[in-house]
A and B are shown apart, each in its own frame.
Chain A
Amino acid sequence: MTSKSPTAIVPPRFASPSIFMWVVVVGFAAFFIQGFMSAEVSGERLIQGAGNMGTFFAQSFPPDFTRLEPILWAMLETLNMAVVGVTFGVILSIPFALLCSSNTAPNAAVRWVSRMVVATFRTIPDLIWALIFVVAVGLGPLAGILAIIMDTIGFCARFFSERIEEIRPGPSEALTATGAGRMSVIMGAILPESMASITATSLYSVEKAIRSAVVLGLVGAGGIGVELSTSMRMFRYDQALTIILVILVVVIAVEQVSSAIRKRVI
């Protein structure tokens, strides 16, 4: 039962958009139309594409399980790459996160530099890291592991640092008040307070790393991607389907395990 004051103005049904919104909308529309045109989308091509998909599935059925053993070994290598890469990545992310957070960085310059470094790690896609490391250390899982380490730091250091910045200041102050040094406060209060979130993020990055480890093989960085790309190039679509099924099962299994652990931690 609110009474209207005589000076109140009823908001209009439609507010006219600001100039900024006009620029954004027109810019987006122009970019979208140009992109759609340059992709040369035509009904003919789509129909042809659907036909090719049909050919692929027709040739890939039934899946060929004769090479299942080497495929499983390659899948294991992929898992190894993901787990080893994420483990090192998470361990390295913690000091990076501490240097990036406003409440733990020694000074603004260090914070700015570490944020730039982490942003660079994150901005360069994992596939490009893999290409670089294949050049550096040669074909094989080591290049994949290194690529995953970089990708994990880019992702984890950022999320760890966000969590570290939003924890309650109280416990750290309590330790500071006992005469504790900076490192003691970080290790004794700040990390324990953010540990649940750090664990959850790390588990998520395992899932993420397994998906990317699969793809990294395509550029020669070890694991099941190598098998997949070989089968595709040799038009052995029945073998390719087996590989895709193995990937599907493993990725789903890892996600289930990881989310089960996460539920217990949080």
Chain B
Amino acid sequence: MAAVQVASLHKRFKDIHVLRGLDFTVQPGEGVVLLGANGCGKSTMMRCLNGLTPISGGHTYINDRCLQNASRKEVRQLRRKVGVVFQKFNLVNNLSVYQNVLYGAIGRSPWGLLSTMSPLASAEERDKAMACLERVSLADKANQRAEELSGGQQQRVAIARMLMQEPEIVLADEPIASLDPKSGREVMELLWDVVRERGLTVICTLHQLDIALEYGDRFLGMKAGMIEIDAPRKEVSKDLLNTLYQGQVRVDTLSPVATPTTQPQAANA
């Protein structure tokens, strides 16, 4: 059984062809690092994997289940298996850190949001949330508002929320791109540790080649919406990965390419 599978995936935003036929399979427990220049389609691809962005052609599979043939309810059930760590943390700013972590359990709770509201949550879930916060060493910040924390701390809260979800697969979209180098390294180390100790499958996009080389078991390199490199760790070198960042102008269009993090809004419009 494959954890994640992508078959001739295409994505167009109006006249921009962002993903141009991607094919790859990720086995359970694999740690994949995805690299590529800005605008090559990494973030869009990540959003297609759990259905946050609808695709224009091809198929994506989670645990061998095709997202495109699934009903809305089934898509929600599949999303429960996929934890996401975002570049911008995406915590609900004016709620407590603790409440944000509890939200991780919404998908798998019988009453959805109601059973994850701090006053109504079961003792078991409340203990779990505290355990997740302890794992990211932020148990002492549980009652603070999320926006009061530093960027690195907020990303650790987001990791705790992801753990609370009890996923099988983790998608991390540039998890350290908004952080300074030191907290970036700390967060990356924490993320990889928690993923590894639970034996989860992970796909992580990164910009820093040196950090990337320290983590992934397998490297996928994207260029202009296509997979250019798919190689295990022992076969990649910094020089090979560097080729991804040369000649960054798209072949089919010379217009500037919107950064992937802003594209999904265009897709929802």
Which one, A9-17, A67-75, A144-152, A171-179, is touching chain B? A171-179
Of the candidate stretches A49-57, A190-198, A251-259, the one touching chain B is A190-198
> Which segment of B10-18, B79-87, B180-188 sits at the interface?
B79-87
Residues on B with beta carbons closer than 8 Å to the beta carbon of A173: 52, 86, 90
CB atoms of A184 and B52 under 8 A apart: no
Task: Please report which residues of chain A, range 49-88, place their CB below 8 angstroms from some CB of chain B when the two chains form the complex.
Answer: none
Give the contacting residue for B95; candidates A170, A174, A192; CB below 8 A.
A192
Q: Which chain B residues in 72-118 approach chain A with CB under 8 Å?
A: 76-80, 82-84, 86, 88-95, 103-108, 112-113, 116
Is B156 engaged at the interface, CB distance under 8 Å to the other chain? Answer: no
Asked if A174 and B107 sit within 8 Å, CB to CB, the answer is no
Q: Are B112 and A180 in contact (CB under 8 A)?
A: yes
Cβ of B161 under 8 Å from chain A: yes
Instruction: Assign chain B's interface to a size class.
Output: 20 to 34
B86–A178 CB distance below 8 A: no
Q: In the bound complex, do residue A195 and residue B77 qualify as a contact, i.e. CB atoms below 8 Å apart?
A: no
A interface: dominant SS: helix
Residue of B50, B78, B89, B107 near A180 (CB, 8 A) is B107
* Contact-residue size bin, chain A (C-beta under 8 Å from the other chain): 20 to 34
Q: How far apart are the CA atoms of A184 and B52 in the complex, in Å?
A: 16
Given A170-B89, A178-B83, 20 extra CB contacts under 8 A = A169-B265, A170-B86, A171-B90, A171-B91, A174-B84, A175-B106, A176-B52, A177-B82, A178-B165, A179-B80, A180-B103, A180-B112, A181-B76, A184-B113, A188-B92, A188-B103, A188-B113, A192-B92, A192-B94, A192-B95
What are 22 A-B pairs at a CB distance below 8 A? A168-B90, A169-B265, A169-B268, A170-B86, A170-B88, A171-B91, A171-B93, A174-B84, A174-B91, A174-B161, A178-B83, A178-B103, A178-B104, A178-B165, A179-B77, A179-B80, A180-B113, A181-B76, A181-B112, A183-B112, A189-B92, A192-B92
Leading 10 A-B pairs by shortest Cβ distance: A179-B107, A170-B90, A184-B113, A179-B80, A174-B90, A179-B79, A180-B106, A177-B84, A184-B112, A178-B107
